[in-house]
């Protein structure tokens, strides 16, 4: 399996759960080699195998190199997890936010996964067409979005637009790849404790105390990893284009 942005945070949580299943995990990262190396050590300790590959998902050549490195090591790809993503450099009001911030966010969080999925999907279709099936069954694709796919946060519109776009990416690829038996899923986390949310920890601690969502705790990378592991095991065979909320019930409307 190939997990983008797997050195730290949610991606690492996914890598560790897949390692427990015995997956070989390609740990992609953008710049923090120490974190990626540490993740790979943990993957090995958990029973998996793998390698680290530095590649910027926003860069076309890096995306091609990332897939090539995966195929060079394992000769096939059975699971893509589009996880890599960034928060805005600064949270800016919708009426003030810059085009530069928008371009950065869209390139990394939306355009990168869109075209990486295209590249990997072609490879998966080719594997299916030649009748090559891996130990975990037919290939699958998972994209990590966010409650921001449908929750309007006016201080990070670019992030929300990118996540809403990724929700459609899942619908599109689910529709396109169904004829090959390649299922496509969206995993939609709520507020998860990682470095991305470290700067707003107090704000969310307060919201949790007030009961802003039903399960009154932070989500963890393991929570997200376990949802992805259920997909990776093939436990949702008659579901595609499906959204799996991992958000402590944030999406519920209550009265
Ligand atoms: P994080 O702790 O900041 O980790 C981000 C990871 O993505 C790192 O491994 C980083 O690599 C990698 N990355 C960043 N830009 C990249 C690029 N251009 N190419 C390749 N890799 C790149 O973030 P996180 O909280 O785990 O978030 C992971 C995903 O979950 C994101 O898509 C985020 O939007 C989503 N999400 C997070 C939350 C939350 O509350 N934390 C909630 C919902 C959704 P380096 O280590 O090399 O920098």
Decide if 159 is catalytic: yes
Q: What is the pLDDT of residue 213?
A: 97
Has residue 243 got a pLDDT over 90?
A: yes
- Please indicate whether residue 157, judged by its CB atom, sits closer than 6 Å to ligand 1: no
Contact 54, 27 (CB under 8 A): no
- Please indicate whether residue 192, judged by its CB atom, sits closer than 6 Å to ligand 1: yes
Q: How far is the CA of 255 from the centre of ligand 1 (A)?
A: 34
- Please indicate whether residue 194, judged by its CB atom, sits closer than 6 Å to ligand 1: yes
Q: What is the pLDDT of residue 106?
A: 98
Q: What is the pLDDT of residue 121?
A: 99
Q: State phi, psi for 37 to the nearest 5 degrees.
A: -65, -40
- Share the mean pLDDT of the chain: 97
pLDDT digits (tens, 9 = 90+) for 28-52: 999 999 999 999 999 999 999 999 9
For residue 8, which atom of ligand 1 is closest to its CA? Answer: 9
Has residue 255 got a pLDDT over 90?
A: no
Q: How far is the CA of 64 from the centre of ligand 1 (A)?
A: 20
- Please indicate whether residue 33, judged by its CB atom, sits closer than 6 Å to ligand 1: no
pLDDT digits (tens, 9 = 90+) for 3-34: 999 999 999 999 999 999 999 999 999 999 99
Q: State phi, psi for 119 to the nearest 5 degrees.
A: -60, -50
Relative orientation angle of helices 9-20 and 33-45, to the nearest 10 degrees: 20
Determine if the pTM surpasses 0.75: yes
The protein residue with its alpha carbon nearest to ligand 1, atom 6, reads 5
Q: What is the pLDDT of residue 38?
A: 98
Has residue 1 got a pLDDT over 90?
A: yes
- Please indicate whether residue 29, judged by its CB atom, sits closer than 6 Å to ligand 1: yes
Distance, in Å, from the CA atom of 29 to the CA atom of 17, rounded to the nearest integer, reads 18
pLDDT digits (tens, 9 = 90+) for 198-209: 999 999 999 999
Widest Cα–Cα separation across the chain: 55
Contact 241, 184 (CB under 8 A): yes
For residue 87, which atom of ligand 1 is closest to its CA? Answer: 34
Which residue among 114, 159, 173, 185 is the active-site one?
159
Q: How far is the CA of 220 from the centre of ligand 1 (A)?
A: 13
Structure-token match 């969206």, residue found: 186
The protein residue with its alpha carbon nearest to ligand 1, atom 23, reads 196
> Counting beta carbons within 10 angstroms of the beta carbon of residue 165, is it exposed (0 to 12), middle (13 to 18) or buried (19 or more)?
middle
The protein residue with its alpha carbon nearest to ligand 1, atom 8, reads 5
Q: What is the mean pLDDT of residues 131-145?
A: 96
Has residue 63 got a pLDDT over 90?
A: yes
pLDDT digits (tens, 9 = 90+) for 89-126: 988 999 999 999 999 999 999 999 999 999 999 999 99
Q: What is the mean pLDDT of residues 75-93?
A: 96
- Please indicate whether residue 9, judged by its CB atom, sits closer than 6 Å to ligand 1: yes
> Counting beta carbons within 10 angstroms of the beta carbon of residue 144, is it exposed (0 to 12), middle (13 to 18) or buried (19 or more)?
buried
- Please indicate whether residue 57, judged by its CB atom, sits closer than 6 Å to ligand 1: yes
> Counting beta carbons within 10 angstroms of the beta carbon of residue 215, is it exposed (0 to 12), middle (13 to 18) or buried (19 or more)?
middle
The partner residues of 28 in beta bridges, in order of sequence, read 53
pLDDT digits (tens, 9 = 90+) for 163-178: 999 999 999 999 999 9
What whole-number percentage of the chain has pLDDT above 70? 100
């Amino acid at each position: 399996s190939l997990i983008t942005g797997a050195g730290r945070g949610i991606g690492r949580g996914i890598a560790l759960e897949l390692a427990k299943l015995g997956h070989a995990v390609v740990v992609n990262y953008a710049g923090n080699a120490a974190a990626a190396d540490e993740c790979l050590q943990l993957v090995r300790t958990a029973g998996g195998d793998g390698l680290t590959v530095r590649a910027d998902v926003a860069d076309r050549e890096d995306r091609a190199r990332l897939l090539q490195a995966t195929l060079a090591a394992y000769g096939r790809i059975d699971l893509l997890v589009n996880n890599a993503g960034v928060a805005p450099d600064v949270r800016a009001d919708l009426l003030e936010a810059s085009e530069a911030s928008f371009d950065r966010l869209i390139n990394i969080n939306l355009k990168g996964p869109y075209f990486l999925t295209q590249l990997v999907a072609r490879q998966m279709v080719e594997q299916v067409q030649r009748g090559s099936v891996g130990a975990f069954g037919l290939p699958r694709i998972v994209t990590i979005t966010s409650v921001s796919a449908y929750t309007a946060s006016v201080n990070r519109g670019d992030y929300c637009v990118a996540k809403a776009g990724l929700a459609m990416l899942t619908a599109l690829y689910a529709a396109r790849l169904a004829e090959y038996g390649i299922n496509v899923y969206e995993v939609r986390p709520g507020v998860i404790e990682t470095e991305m949310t470290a700067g707003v920890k107090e704000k969310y601690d307060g919201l949790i105390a007030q009961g802003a969502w039903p399960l009154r705790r932070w989500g963890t990378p393991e929570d997200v990893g376990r949802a992805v592991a259920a997909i990776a095991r093939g436990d949702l065979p008659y579901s595609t284009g499906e959204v799996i909320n991992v958000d402590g019930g944030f999406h519920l409307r209550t009265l």
